[in-house]
Structure 1
Amino acid sequence: MDLLPREPQQSLPWAAFRERYDFIDALHGCEQTFVYHQEGDVGVHTAMVCEAMRASESYQAAPESEQTLLFAAALLHDVAKPVCSQRGADGKVRTNGHSRVGALMARRILWEMDFPFAQREAVCGLIRAHQKPLFFLERPDTERLLIELADTTRLDHLAALAEADMLGRICDDQQELLERVALFRLAAEELGVLHAPWPFANDHSRFLYFRKPGRDPRYAAFDDTKSRVVLMSGLPGAGKDHWLRENLGELPVVSLDGIRDELDLAPTGPQGRVIQEARERARVYLRSGANFAWNATHLSRQVRDEVITLLADYNAHVELVYVEASAERLFEQNAQREEPVPVEVIERLLRRWEVPTRAEVHSLRVVINPY
């Protein structure tokens, strides 16, 4: 982000952004429905959003590190529109899913730029949720939505991005949209989650709240967990095995790599037998109340949720250790493994790479470049 001007009076070098980054240049020529975006294509809109963000009070009052992540969120908030864009029979252009896909794309882009982990994940959280302030009042459970969002995203930053998104367009209902964002900000402030997550009584209360709809966030749950399970997560070659050996060498391990070796199955083939065997071995530990580690990539939230549901059914305390290496280091470390994971497998995993959040588990530990 060295192209980002630090002085407010400096103009944004948009041509330089287009020249350096293919994903920015690709926004130009990506059409939008005229009634919502009379300003033009996605590239024109994104440049206007970036200028609106830089001019906002939220941005100008923020420290430099927060300015960087706010600008990155504005720059990348619609990065997935070219790949999600479809024209319907009515002639309108729709980009369903562009927030979720955009967060995945932004993670890969910023990881390859060596963007700091915490800032990168803040940006991805903002991109994934950037449409939420416009529609939160349509939800019957607005309190829950705000608490869910606030656990992983600064809601004052989210409101700033949504406001810049509205100001960076020309449409007939712009004022109404800005009022929605203002109501979102006010609701978050009144609930006490505009600048920080909801203060749950303990980790188990938070874990149960996010797993069971209808729970009162104010209720202090009794911790009735019976065992401790350490769930590993991270791309192949990140250093999960190394971290386990160095830090939890005494724990028995359910390892998908180990099971694959036993069954003589390749990581490129069907994994059903491997996953089923891992679940059966985990159940043995869970029934006995033994502590253990479960070592796999666990890169998508859907996959993690299936595993965590099994663990929660046995009242396990779930600690997730997420291990990450820089892009350069990861591919080097993978190549040095006794049996490297094929690059095409890593590429496939990168396309659905969702970094875990503490809302999923009792506790989350992030380990960057473990060796």
Structure 2
Amino acid sequence: MSWMLSSDKSWPFLRQNFSWVADMDGVMQDPYHHAEGDVSVHTQHVLAALISLPEYQRLTVLQQEVLWSAALLHDVEKRSTTRIDYDGRIVSPGHARKGELTARQILFRDLATPFAIREMIAALVRYHGLPLWIMEKQDPQKSLFSASLRVDTHLLALLAKADVLGWECTDAEELLNRIELFELYCSEQQCWRQAREFPSVEARYRYFSTDNASPDYQPYDNYQSQVTLLSGLPGMGKDSYIQQYFPSLPVISLDDIRRQHRIAPDDKMANGWVVQQAKQLAREKLRRGEDFIWNATNITHQMRQQLINLFVSYKARVRVVYIEVPYVKWKQQNNTRTYAVPNMVMERMLAKLELPVPEEAHEVIYYIDGRIESAFL
């Protein structure tokens, strides 16, 4: 697989051709850690530091491009999150989390990036600070295992190293030592350059959904039913997926409930009622131990988690199927639907898209343009 964000990697070219690069100009950073200057200057320093690392030079061409792209994008949302804190310090809270969404949007809409490559870059952006701050997390082990399911920890450590080398600060040596400790911790926890393995998908789900659970514990299987929860933007082909793979399985569809009661999709006042009607139907099936499909967009973690918690409380095994087609095809499919979604709404939803991650449910499947793919490159 070959892919390249840009063959011309000069800063003037990037700045001229990508508005999100130009937006880095003038986005100030706290001088205590970033005496080098604004986000534009810092990102250029990071890119220069990255390509000079011997470890980077030993990577495959594709790994180099993935890591370089993540470095270019790692602070992309400091433009929207930077503010002056109560003590006068410049901070950018949440820039990595928001940066992941932006990276995904850019690589899906503007640069037509293969799914696994896109998701690796998005995950690197999301977790680029983890090697520095992992021991300050409430649960370092769980934070590490979660990241390892999505990102190569070796590439993550290299990105963090280049990031620190792109700072002008007095504690750079301490920060580099933290990255070395992160690498040791990854090896100790069996997730250096690999996803942390669990005895089963059930064991993985229990570990992430239960406090103080052991990653090596194999839970007892006492499922009474299986629920398939679909996730995907409008027009991605969820109905077609059901018709192809589960034509005889009962479906609970929020859109169907709206149409039955002549409720407009943009009627926010009625949305809560629609969801409650759907949940009531789900409870009835769950009590009877029936398998079914929940068909809705479910594009955020919060949306999915509320439903998964409900299903699991009735002893259901939950499979999440994320469905996606390329951007151009997505627009074409939406335009040919009986109930097309306005383009403005489509783009707004794309900006909020949070892909299901492996620990969310017992099973997470990525159905990309008609075939199952892995999100781990």
TM class, shorter-length: over 0.9
- Helix, strand or coil: the match of 1:321? strand
Partner of 1:8: none
Quote how far apart the aligned CAs of 1:225 are. Answer: 1.3
Q: Given the alignment, which residue of 24, 27, 30 partners 1:27?
A: 24
What is the CA–CA distance in structure 2 between the aligned matches of 1:235 and 1:124, rounded to whole Å? Answer: 18
Cα gap change, 1:19 to 1:230, in 2 (>3 Å): same
Q: Distance in 2 between matches of 1:237 and 1:139?
A: 38
Partner in structure 2 of residue 194 of structure 1: 192
Distance in structure 1 (CA, Å) of the matches to 2:141 and 2:339: 48
What residue in structure 1 maps to residue 369 of structure 2? 369
Q: Distance in 2 between matches of 1:73 and 1:336?
A: 35
Q: Is the deviation greater in 160-169 or in 60-69?
A: 60-69
Contact 2:323 2:368 in 1 (8 A): yes
Where does structure 1 lack aligned partners over 5 or more consecutive residues?
6-11
Task: Tell me if 1:3 matches 2:6.
Answer: yes
**How far off is 1:234 after superposition?**
0.5
Structure 1 partner of 2:242: 244
Whole-angstrom distance in 1 between the partners of 2:18 and 2:138: 41
DSSP 3-state at the match of 1:322: strand
User: Could you say which residue in structure 2 is the equivalent of 1:359?
Assistant: 359
Aligned residue for 1:105? 102
The Cα of 1:324 is off from its aligned counterpart by 0.5
Partner of 1:220: 218
Q: Which amino acid is the alignment partner of residue 84 of structure 1?
A: T
Shift of 1:278: 1.1
Where does residue 161 of structure 1 map in the other structure? Answer: 159
Give a deviation string over 1:96-123, Cα, whole Å, max 9, x none.
1101100011110000111110111111
CA 1:244–1:58 in structure 2 vs 1: closer, same or farther (change >3 Å)?
Answer: farther
Per-residue deviation, 1:343: 2.2
Partner-residue secondary structure (3-state), 1:298? coil
The Cα offsets for residues 43-69 of structure 1, whole Å up to 9 and x where unpaired, read as 110111112222223322221221121
Instruction: State the alpha-carbon separation in 1 of the partners of residues 76 and 329 from structure 2.
Output: 26
Q: Is residue 39–residue 170 contact of structure 1 (8 Å, CA) maintained in 2?
A: yes
Q: What are the ranges of 5 or more consecutive residues in structure 2 without an aligned counterpart? A: 372-377
Name the structure 1 match of 2:263: 265
Partner of 1:310: 310
Which amino acid is 2:114 matched to?
P
CA–CA distance in 2 between the matches of 1:343 and 1:2? 26
Work out which of the residue numbers 230, 233, 239 in structure 1 matches 2:231: 233
Contact 2:5–2:69 (Cα < 8 Å) also in 1: no
Opposite residue 272 of structure 1, the aligned amino acid is G
Equivalence for 1:70 = 67
Q: Which residue of 1 aligns with 2:322?
A: 322
User: Which residue of the partner structure matches residue 169 of structure 2?
Assistant: 171
Query: Is the contact between residue 268 and residue 345 of structure 1 (CA under 8 Å) also seen in structure 2?
Result: no
1:2 positional shift: 4.9
The percentage of aligned residue pairs carrying the same residue is: 37
Q: Secondary structure at the match of 2:365?
A: strand
Which of residues 202, 205, 208 is equivalent to 1:207? Answer: 205
Aligned mates of 1:331, 1:207 — CA distance in 2:
34
Task: Report the Cα distance in structure 1 between the residues aligned to 2:104 and 2:38, rounded to whole angstroms.
Answer: 24
Q: In structure 2, what is the equivalent of residue 95 of structure 1? A: 92
User: Does 2:43 match 1:40?
Assistant: no
Q: Tell me if the contact between 1:239 and 1:370 (Cα under 8 Å) persists in the aligned partners.
A: no
Q: Which residue in 2 is equivalent to 1:50? A: 47
Q: Mean alpha-carbon deviation: is it higher for 53-62 or for 65-74?
A: 53-62
The residue number in structure 1 matching 2:299 is 299
Please tell me the residue identity of whatever aligns with 1:85. Answer: T
Please name the residue that 1:16 is paired with: 13
Which TM-score applies when normalising by structure 2?
0.94
The alpha carbon displacement at 1:89 in A equals: 4.2
**3-state SS of 1:185 partner:** helix
Q: Which residue of 1 aligns with 2:286?
A: 286
1:9 maps to what in 2?
A: none
Instruction: State the distance in 2 between where 1:130 and 1:2 align.
Output: 19
CA distance in 1, matches of 2:237, 2:330: 8
Structure 1 124/2 Cα, relative in aligned 2: closer, same or farther at 3 Å? closer
Q: Secondary structure at the match of 1:37?
A: coil
Q: Matched residue pairs, number? A: 365
